[in-house]
Chain A
Amino acid sequence: MTMTEVPQEQPESPTNRPPSMHRFKNWMRRPYARHVMIWTVVIGFLLLPLCWLLLAAMNQTGAPASEIMQDIETTVFVFTLVSIPITAFVFAVLLYSLIGWKRISSDEPPMQESPAVFTNRIGVVLWTVVTSALAMFLAVWGMIELAQITANSYGTISANEQPGENQSVIVNVTGQQWVWTFAYPQTDGLVSDVLYLPVDKPVYFNVTSKDVIHNFWAVELGVKIDANPGAVTTAGVTPNKLGTFNIRCAELCGMHHAYMETEVRVVTQEQFDSWVREMGGGRTS
């Protein structure tokens, strides 16, 4: 912070006002400004792996088994990516304040005081514009994704319309303390405590509860909806991967809430049909 670092020659401009690029360059000549910028970039890159690490943790039990879950993971990825620059900047200032700018640890209050910067118009405006733009982007992204997920949940059929017999599977999900039951109304009264679904076929869930509020969470399918007593809520999904996945209850529902879990088995259409016959469902199709 010596005199030599301040530009000695001013640009020759008739208005006597340095162009903004020049002012920015002048500002960047200050050592702390340069350092904080470099640290921001370094910390940003250090945080960057989080984008993938978060997804790795989410995928620990198995990769997404539906388009909905893929959309959710894309959202998580994008949100992480977008929030890294701001986070990195704040952390850089924090760290630089701890070890970059001067630090005093005497018992007496320091008499040598810091610059009396009351505000900074450009800084304030820049911050407001950037954070607002990011917040707007996240909101718009969220809405588009939500519309997408809603469309994926219900296909082209609107939520309150019952879909056709052969194009889809309807499952009535009932939560009660502390088991899930799955009824298949398209069959002759088939009821199961493990959810069987055919792959690549839209499924519609009508979810309700017999006692308290539960939450039907098919983890890898990306389905989550409350099971309310006295009301039917709807959700839908098209599983696109064969395998066995988790169903958990995600709303505290009493003593054995922790054990209220079961499985969803996504199988081929033939296996599904034979399962229905085995269970005495006598599938109509």
Chain B
Amino acid sequence: MSSVAPALVHSAEVPQPAQHGKPGGIMRRLNFGTGLLGGIGLATIAGVVTSQFVPSGYSSPVTFAPMEGEYVYLAVLLGWVIGFMAGMGAFVGPMRWLLGRENTHVDAEYMAGKDLGRSRYWKYTTDHKVVGIQYLIVTLIVFAFGGLLAMLIRTELGVTWAEVFSPAFYNSIIGTHGIAMIIAMIIAVSGPLGNFIVPMMIGARDMAYPRLNALSIWLLVAAVPCLVSSLFLGGIQDGWSAYQPLASQAPIGMLGYQMTIIVFALSTGVASVNLMTTILTMRAKGMSWSRTPIFVYGIFAAALMGLYAFPFYQYSQILSLSDRVFNTSFFNPLEGGSVWLYENLFWLLGHPEVYVILIPTTAVLMEILPVFMRKPLFSFNFAVAGIVGVVALRGLVWAHHMYMTGWAPAVNYPFMLSTEMISIPVGFLVLVVIGTLWRGTSWSRLPLMAVYAVIFNKMIGGVTGIYLSDVPADQYFHGSMFVVAHFHYMLMGAGFFGAMGGIAFYFPKMTGKILDERYGAIGLWTVFIGFQLTFGSMFVAGLQGQPRRVLQFDEQFAISNWISTIGAYTIGVGTLIFLGAIIFSWKDGPMVSGNPWASKSLEWQTPTPVPLENFAVLPVVTERPYNYGVPDPYDEELRAHDGDELESAGAR
């Protein structure tokens, strides 16, 4: 075929490269099935070849666990990732480019899933809405996996009279639960909503790099089996922090963790660059920075912080893996390495990552609030200042995780200062939220209920955070259950509830159905009650002095742990109800209009289901976001009584 397919860009016909074969070419044959086939195939070949030709592992001086099969597992993991990505078609684009066959417009449309129906969700599809849905599904799966492990942990801790699991298995479910939940929470908002909503919110037709978008989600999918497989090969017995040299003692399952992180960090980096470029370059005409919705700021900040933080994690795990497999000694103190180097690299990720989770969830609730309070976001500039402040300080607080390591007692002072200081911009965000609540007529729907839950939890999480930011108090709380309760209040209380609210809010846009109010609310409040029980009493256990990551403890901690376990099961039940509400609403919920919440922002002005390329005509933005509300009656009265006093009247 040598005919030239025209594409309409700015009403001018531009010449297209020659079309080779049917639209999409080899991509027509590739989908998730061929991905699995490629992954399993290459993994098998790599495993067999390695086991035949490479001598089996060694035993390092600090290693007690047998290292048999280490090289084989590494080869299998690499084979899986490369084979899966090849089978999905990740290398087709570069190959075609090398062969001089550039994508035509029709090819690109095929890649975006035009006329493919449901099968586009199983392919290397570039449409940002498809990627958003794929992210949502992956988030739910990873979250369910992590939640199941949480139930196992609480079962062990609730049964105070016996060991339910062996200590090794218990330690590995703790580590796997940790990393699974961290991954789920990092992608929970930025993944589904960042991909699905942000391009529509800024009035764009797609992301800046659609194929990188597909790459980021399928890399993430490739990472998940690495994590799950590690559980069956001895697991991650050293917590998700994988401190050295404990990590090098762990069985070969540790390699699964390291490979997961390396691939996940790659996926996050690709996604971050994509989101940032999209936001910087593709905002609609007239969408100046002060007309850009706050959620876009939140996602941009998360992408920026992620891009800063994840490379540290990736390097730390690459070095760790190298220590393990090739007997280098970056972190092995017996051969000149440093355990503190690992801790620093890890927490250079670890703390910015908290804000990578928290800022988008806070931003999404700032997006929800004006719509349901029918009033503008209180002090938009302050919200932006809060986000900028957090971004500015994100990289200066990591060592507050290391107060008690004895690494450098003198730096405890500056890190205590910077950590206390970061509570000021976070406080700005709190003010924006309660200022928007102030005097608002609330339309109590499910998303707003989630917002109330988030504010409550975040307040508790924030206040308990100031104890931990303080070195003297941390001298008691560090490494105790208090820390666990605190970060669950932050990551789960704000992150998870925020994600529930965000998903409930955008559900009509993403699926065309409305999330069942009744069962959604029952699920949400069940989780909320269970959450307070679990982590409220975990605070008590921490105050009493129970160390974290233990499977048995003194009798005095029994009562708080029993309550925690009851609460955890309640969370489990509530989550199942909420998941059920999602699934059933998605399948048989009533169809709703394109804008059921009567929101004024751009993404709701598209028809539902959203067509390919979102907007028939690209929108032009002429006013600030959140133009809700009527003139303030008090102001009106003031004006009536006291003419020009209005401008300076602060007494609102």
Q: Which residue of B lies closest to A115 (CB)?
A: B632
Would you call B326 an interface residue if the criterion is a C-beta within 8 Å of the partner chain's C-beta atoms?
no
Q: Which residue of A lies closest to B412 (CB)?
A: A146
Please pick, from A105, A117, A149, A251, the residue contacting B475 in the complex, using a CB distance under 8 A.
A149
The answer to whether B379 and A94 have CB atoms under 8 Å apart is: no
Q: Interface digits, B370-386 against A, CB 8 Å rule (1 contact, 0 not)?
A: 00011110111110000
Would you call B427 an interface residue if the criterion is a C-beta within 8 Å of the partner chain's C-beta atoms?
yes
User: Can you list 14 residue pairs at the A/B interface with Cβ under 8 Å?
Assistant: A58-B543, A61-B556, A69-B476, A90-B455, A109-B374, A110-B441, A112-B374, A114-B373, A114-B375, A116-B629, A118-B380, A131-B427, A146-B416, A224-B476
CB distance from B501 to the nearest CB of A (A): 15
Please pick, from A3, A117, A219, the residue contacting B376 in the complex, using a CB distance under 8 A.
A117
Q: Which residues of B contact A94 (CB under 8 A)?
A: 434, 437, 452, 455-456
The answer to whether B441 and A102 have CB atoms under 8 Å apart is: yes
Q: Which residue of A lies closest to B382 (CB)?
A: A124
The answer to whether A113 and B375 have CB atoms under 8 Å apart is: yes
The answer to whether B476 and A72 have CB atoms under 8 Å apart is: yes
- Report the Cα distance A122→B431, complex, angstroms: 13
Q: Which of A161-169, A225-233, A269-277 contacts B (4 or more CB under 8 A)?
A: A225-233
Known: A120-B652, A142-B416, A211-B245. A93 touches B438 (CB 8 A): yes
Q: Which of A21-29, A179-187, A195-203 contacts B (4 or more CB under 8 A)?
A: A21-29
Q: How many residues of A contact B (CB 8 A)?
A: 103
Would you call B650 an interface residue if the criterion is a C-beta within 8 Å of the partner chain's C-beta atoms?
yes
Q: Which residues of A contact B378 (CB under 8 A)?
A: 117-120
The answer to whether B379 and A224 have CB atoms under 8 Å apart is: no
The answer to whether A143 and B382 have CB atoms under 8 Å apart is: no
The answer to whether A83 and B648 have CB atoms under 8 Å apart is: no
- Report the Cα distance A252→B596, complex, angstroms: 50
Q: Which residues of A contact B471 (CB under 8 A)?
A: 142, 145-146, 149
Please pick, from A124, A138, A256, the residue contacting B420 in the complex, using a CB distance under 8 A.
A138
Would you call B118 an interface residue if the criterion is a C-beta within 8 Å of the partner chain's C-beta atoms?
no
Q: Which residue of B lies closest to A178 (CB)?
A: B167
Return the 3 tightest CB-CB contacts between A and B, nearest first.
A230-B333, A233-B406, A116-B629
Q: How many residues of B contact A (CB 8 A)?
A: 105
Q: Interface digits, B74-99 against A, CB 8 Å rule (1 contact, 0 not)?
A: 00000000000000000000000000
- Report the Cα distance A140→B516, complex, angstroms: 50
Would you call A139 an interface residue if the criterion is a C-beta within 8 Å of the partner chain's C-beta atoms?
yes
The answer to whether A146 and B553 have CB atoms under 8 Å apart is: no
Q: Which residues of A contact B628 (CB under 8 A)?
A: 113-114, 116
Would you call A132 an interface residue if the criterion is a C-beta within 8 Å of the partner chain's C-beta atoms?
yes
The answer to whether A114 and B472 have CB atoms under 8 Å apart is: no
Would you call A41 an interface residue if the criterion is a C-beta within 8 Å of the partner chain's C-beta atoms?
no
The answer to whether A124 and B472 have CB atoms under 8 Å apart is: no
Known: A212-B249, A222-B476. A1 touches B417 (CB 8 A): no
The answer to whether A91 and B459 have CB atoms under 8 Å apart is: yes
Would you call A285 an interface residue if the criterion is a C-beta within 8 Å of the partner chain's C-beta atoms?
no
Q: Which residue of B lies closest to A26 (CB)?
A: B651
Q: Which residues of A contact B379 (CB under 8 A)?
A: 118-120, 124
Q: Which residue of A lies closest to B250 (CB)?
A: A254
CB distance from A17 to the nearest CB of B (A): 7
The answer to whether A252 and B171 have CB atoms under 8 Å apart is: yes
Give the A-B contact count at a CB cut-off of 8 A.
320
The answer to whether A122 and B651 have CB atoms under 8 Å apart is: yes
Known: A117-B438, A213-B243. A110 touches B374 (CB 8 A): yes
- Report the Cα distance A138→B471, complex, angstroms: 11
CB distance from A85 to the nearest CB of B (A): 11
Q: Which residues of A contact B551 (CB under 8 A)?
A: 258
Known: A230-B334, A246-B545. A114 touches B629 (CB 8 A): yes
Q: Interface digits, B613-633 against A, CB 8 Å rule (1 contact, 0 not)?
A: 000000000000001111111
The answer to whether A256 and B167 have CB atoms under 8 Å apart is: yes
Known: A90-B430, A142-B472, A252-B243. A10 touches B455 (CB 8 A): no
CB distance from A274 to the nearest CB of B (A): 29
CB distance from A26 to the nearest CB of B (A): 6
Q: Which residues of B contact A76 (CB under 8 A)?
A: 467, 473, 476
8 Å CB interface, A194-244 against B: 207, 211-213, 215, 217, 219, 222-226, 228-231, 233-235
- Report the Cα distance A235→B405, complex, angstroms: 11
- Report the Cα distance A1→B106, complex, angstroms: 62
The answer to whether A138 and B553 have CB atoms under 8 Å apart is: no
Q: Which of B23-31, B485-493, B569-577, B637-645 contacts A (4 or more CB under 8 A)?
A: B637-645
The residue among A1, A17, A104, A112 with the most chain B CB atoms within 10 A of its own CB is A104
The answer to whether B631 and A119 have CB atoms under 8 Å apart is: no
The answer to whether A17 and B648 have CB atoms under 8 Å apart is: yes
Q: Which residue of B lies closest to A225 (CB)?
A: B406
Q: Which residues of B contact A235 (CB under 8 A)?
A: 406
- Report the Cα distance A145→B374, complex, angstroms: 47
Q: Which residues of A contact B632 (CB under 8 A)?
A: 115-117
Would you call A172 an interface residue if the criterion is a C-beta within 8 Å of the partner chain's C-beta atoms?
no
Please pick, from B168, B249, B417, B540, the residue contacting A139 in the complex, using a CB distance under 8 A.
B417
Q: Interface digits, B339-381 against A, CB 8 Å rule (1 contact, 0 not)?
A: 1100000000000000000000000000000000111101111
Q: Which residue of B lies closest to A98 (CB)?
A: B452
Please pick, from A98, A119, A219, A228, the residue contacting B381 in the complex, using a CB distance under 8 A.
A119
The answer to whether B630 and A250 have CB atoms under 8 Å apart is: no
Known: A90-B455, A228-B340, A228-B405. A115 touches B544 (CB 8 A): no
8 Å CB interface, B305-339 against A: 333-334, 338-339
The answer to whether B434 and A116 have CB atoms under 8 Å apart is: no
Q: Interface digits, A47-61 against B, CB 8 Å rule (1 contact, 0 not)?
A: 000000010011011
The answer to whether B629 and A132 have CB atoms under 8 Å apart is: no
Q: Which residues of B contact A54 (CB under 8 A)?
A: 543
Q: Interface digits, B409-448 against A, CB 8 Å rule (1 contact, 0 not)?
A: 1001100110011011001101100110111111111000
Q: Which residue of B lies closest to A145 (CB)?
A: B472
The answer to whether A6 and B442 have CB atoms under 8 Å apart is: no
Known: A61-B545, A117-B375. A258 touches B552 (CB 8 A): yes
The answer to whether B406 and A228 have CB atoms under 8 Å apart is: yes
Q: A104-B441, A114-B628, A250-B480 are in contact. List 17 more A-B contacts (CB 8 A).
A: A72-B472, A79-B466, A79-B473, A97-B437, A110-B441, A114-B440, A115-B629, A115-B632, A119-B378, A121-B650, A131-B431, A211-B62, A228-B333, A230-B333, A252-B246, A253-B246, A255-B171
Q: Which residues of A contact B420 (CB under 8 A)?
A: 135-136, 138-139, 142
